């Protein structure tokens, strides 16, 4: 088999068993890997509660992982989110994905619940479940230091152990499976870490065609100002967006009450490089190296983190933001939800936490002590308990990232149609509304956005299943990646076929959610965005979103998707017709 390994490892932590199985080639052809394969493998389990022992935690790589394909050393983790209740996937890059593939696996499927803490050690031919009571309670750096050796490690911290609803999974390379609380699912299973090593090579069907396609991708990367330009993400990382969002009056400030933060330049990409000596870092084998590390090798915060611990919490101290990022990574907390929950709490109390208070509050979250018990639930549940549900800036209980929807109407629609909740990555309309790639659109108009978001969701579902990085598509397109995939697997793929696969994956996710009670009522923004203006200035007016036009475009989206007026399926047999 080329591209894929055709193997899955199934582990049951309840009885301590593990077994290797073959994955049928037609399943791999039609779902690729990563997000798609994980979602397909959830078919018999999606109705289970997130902390049910039988709920799977699925790690899946793609057919390009293990090859020289740019940005393809990535994996996706799939389960049901304890924060949102939706089907959820989150991807991460790094050496862990590459080594999982080198161990001869396309997927790792973990069920059950261990009676005592354990780790899972995977090699090319066998897997072992090992006691880990001595590691329970350790933070991420201590856990990885104890286990790493010549292996790659994916671990949870105290937040995952304590089932904090937005706990993440961290790899030894500093990459985070960061949103949706999948670290809490891992903690509920009593699984402290997974280690993996392997030496198998991924076979490529047509090396000459593959090399040509790779060269095409690299030429496009080099020609892209967003990727390799003087102000591109390769130079400054994602915080290069800080100045752009400030200029566009889209920087969420003080729990989205305002959309401009005067001190945002304190934590812009150039400011971080100057203050921290930022050097290039990133995923294994990636030519972009968008992550940045400080002089001591610690990973520096990315755009969402600097903006949310900065403007969203009315904090202008880069030092405090870096400290908050480090604390979240050590404890295993999603930075976006952690910062957004603190911000909602701050508005409800009438007082945002100070820079000095934040590290202790993050530790309280992870340990679920004192105020941290309520903060550990995320902003929606916290706001409800405090009698101010309208002050949770979330969609489907997932806190919104650092792009105010009043400044980009495609983003407003995409937050709501995203199967997992308020994510910017399902359709990523920022690419065309703000970065003007590949074709610019009017960010203050809903015209045509339903169709654009539909196409983008399908495209990104395919990208997440390859598994490739979103940043690749600031230069390359599905045309080049379809050629890479065809060369790797020996199976003909076109951009259109990849989009059709993406559509199947997206609709399957929505079917799962509808079966679990989600509908149109959940596809909406907090009231603030319809009734309050943003921060106008510099000749730019940021108006409330027109609710009528939003609902009209949502109706169009449902019609394009073949859904009913509630955003669900009239056809109960949808799943039965899928491969």
Residue 285: its pLDDT value, please? 85
Q: How would you class 515 by CB atoms within 10 Å of its CB: exposed for 0-12, middle for 13-18, buried for 19 or more?
A: middle
Q: 538 to each of 107, 404, 541, 542, how far by Cα in Å?
A: 51, 17, 9, 11
Predicted confidence at residue 298, as pLDDT, reads 92
DSSP reduced 3-state for 223:
helix
* Other beta carbons within 10 Å of 145: 12
Distance, CA of 575 to CA of 45 (rounded, Å): 13
Q: What is the 3-state secondary structure (H, E, C) of 528-553?
A: HHHHCCCCCECCECCCCCCHHHHHHH
From 432, 463, 458, 459, select the one nearest 445 (Cα to Cα).
432
CB atoms within 10 A of CB 228: 18
pLDDT score at 311: 98
Exposed / middle / buried, residue 68 (Cβ in 10 Å: 0-12, 13-18, 19+): middle
Both tokens of 378, joined, read 């995320």
Residue with tokens 């000095």: 356
Report whether 6 contacts 106 (CB < 8 A).
yes
pLDDT at 149: 87
* Per-residue confidence (pLDDT) for residue 282, from 0 to 100: 86
DSSP H or E run through 108: strand 107-111
Q: pLDDT of the chain along its 579 residues, tens only? A: 999 999 999 999 999 999 999 999 999 999 999 999 999 999 999 999 999 999 999 999 999 999 999 999 999 999 999 999 999 999 999 899 999 999 999 999 999 999 999 999 999 889 999 999 999 999 999 999 999 888 999 999 999 999 999 999 999 888 999 999 999 999 999 999 999 999 999 999 999 999 999 999 999 999 999 999 999 999 999 999 999 999 999 999 999 999 999 999 999 999 999 999 989 888 888 999 999 999 999 999 999 999 999 999 999 999 999 999 999 999 999 999 999 999 999 999 999 999 999 999 999 999 999 999 999 999 999 999 999 999 999 999 999 999 999 999 999 999 999 999 999 999 999 999 999 888 899 999 999 999 999 999 999 999 999 999 999 999 999 999 999 999 999 999 999 999 999 999 999 999 999 999 999 999 999 999 999 999 999 889 999 999 999 999 999 999 999 999 999 999 889 999 999
User: 571: Cβ–Cβ under 8 A, 6 or more apart, which residues?
Assistant: none
Q: What is the pLDDT of residue 100?
A: 97
The pLDDT assigned to 284 comes to: 82
C-alpha span between 13 and 3 (Å, rounded): 29
Domain ranges across the chain: 7-196
- Number of Cβ atoms within 10 Å of the Cβ of 557: 22
Interatomic CA distance for residues 511 and 88, integer angstroms: 13
Say which CATH superfamily domain 7-196 falls into. Aldehyde ferredoxin oxidoreductase, N-terminal domain (3.60.9.10)
Return the pLDDT at 417.
98
Angle at which helix 449-466 crosses helix 409-417, to 10 degrees, equals 60
Looking at residue 211, its pLDDT comes to 98
Residue 110 to residue 191: CA distance in whole angstroms = 10
Peptide bond into 467 cis (omega under 30): yes
């Amino acid at each position: 088999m080329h591209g894929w390994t055709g193997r899955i490892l199934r582990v049951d932590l309840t009885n301590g068993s593990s077994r290797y199985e073959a994955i049928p080639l037609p399943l791999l052809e039609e779902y690729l890997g990563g997000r798609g394969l994980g979602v397909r493998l959830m078919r018999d389990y999606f109705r289970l509660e997130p902390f049910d022992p039988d709920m799977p935690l699925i790690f899946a790589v793609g057919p390009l992982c293990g090859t020289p394909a740019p940005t393809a050393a990535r994996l996706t983790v799939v389960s049901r989110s304890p924060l949102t209740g939706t089907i959820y996937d989150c991807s991460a890059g790094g050496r862990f994905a590459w080594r999982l593939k080198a161990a001869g696996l396309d997927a790792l499927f973990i069920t059950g619940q261990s009676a005592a803490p354990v780790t899972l050690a995977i090699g090319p031919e066998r897997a072992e479940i090992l006691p880990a009571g001595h590691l329970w309670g350790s933070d991420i750096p201590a856990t990885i230091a104890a286990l790493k050796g010549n292996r790659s490690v994916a671990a949870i911290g105290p937040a995952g152990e304590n089932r904090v609803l937005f706990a993440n999974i961290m790899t030894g390379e500093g990459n985070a499976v960061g949103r949706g609380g999948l670290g809490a699912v891992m903690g509920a299973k009593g699984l402290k870490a997974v280690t993996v090593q392997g030496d198998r090579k991924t076979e490529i069907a047509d090396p000459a065609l593959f090399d040509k396609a790779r060269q095409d991708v690299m030429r496009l990367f080099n020609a892209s100002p967003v990727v390799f330009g003087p102000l591109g993400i390769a130079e400054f990382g994602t915080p290069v967006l800080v100045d752009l969002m400030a200029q566009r009056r889209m920087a969420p400030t003080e729990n989205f009450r305002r959309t401009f933060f005067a001190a945002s330049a304190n934590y812009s990409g150039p400011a971080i490089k100057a203050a921290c000596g930022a050097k290039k870092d990133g995923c294994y084998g990636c030519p972009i190296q968008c992550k940045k590390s400080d002089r001591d090798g610690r990973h520096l915060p990315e755009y969402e983190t600097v903006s949310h611990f900065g403007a969203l919490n009315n904090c202008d101290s880069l030092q405090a933001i870096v400290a908050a990022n480090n604390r979240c990574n050590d404890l295993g907390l999603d930075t976006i939800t952690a910062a957004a929950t603190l911000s909602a709490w701050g508005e409800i109390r009438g007082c945002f936490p100070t820079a000095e208070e934040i590290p202790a509050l993050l530790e309280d979250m992870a340990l679920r002590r004192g105020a941290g018990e309520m903060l550990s639930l995320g902003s929606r549940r916290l706001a409800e308990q405090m009698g101010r549900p309208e002050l949770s800036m979330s969609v489907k209980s997932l806190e919104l990232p650092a792009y105010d929807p009043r400044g980009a109407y495609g983003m407003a629609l995409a937050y709501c149609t995203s199967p997992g909740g308020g994510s910017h990555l399902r359709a990523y309309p920022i690419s065309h509304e703000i970065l003007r790639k590949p074709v610019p659109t009017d960010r203050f108009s809903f015209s045509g956005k339903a169709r654009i978001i539909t196409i983008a969701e399908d495209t990104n579902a395919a990208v997440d299943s390859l598994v490739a990085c979103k940043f690749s598509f600031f230069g390359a397109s599905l045309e080049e990646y379809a050629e890479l995939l065809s060369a790797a697997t020996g199976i003909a793929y076109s951009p259109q076929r990849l989009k059709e696969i993406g559509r199947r994956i997206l609709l399957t996710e929505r079917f799962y959610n509808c079966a679990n009670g989600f509908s149109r009522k959940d596809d909406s923004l907090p009231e603030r965005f319809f009734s309050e203006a943003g921060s106008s200035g510099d000749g730019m007016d940021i108006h409330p979103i027109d609710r009528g036009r939003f609902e009209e475009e949502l109706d169009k989206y449902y019609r394009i998707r073949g859904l009913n007026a509630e955003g669900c399926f009239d056809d109960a047999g949808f799943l039965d017709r899928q491969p």
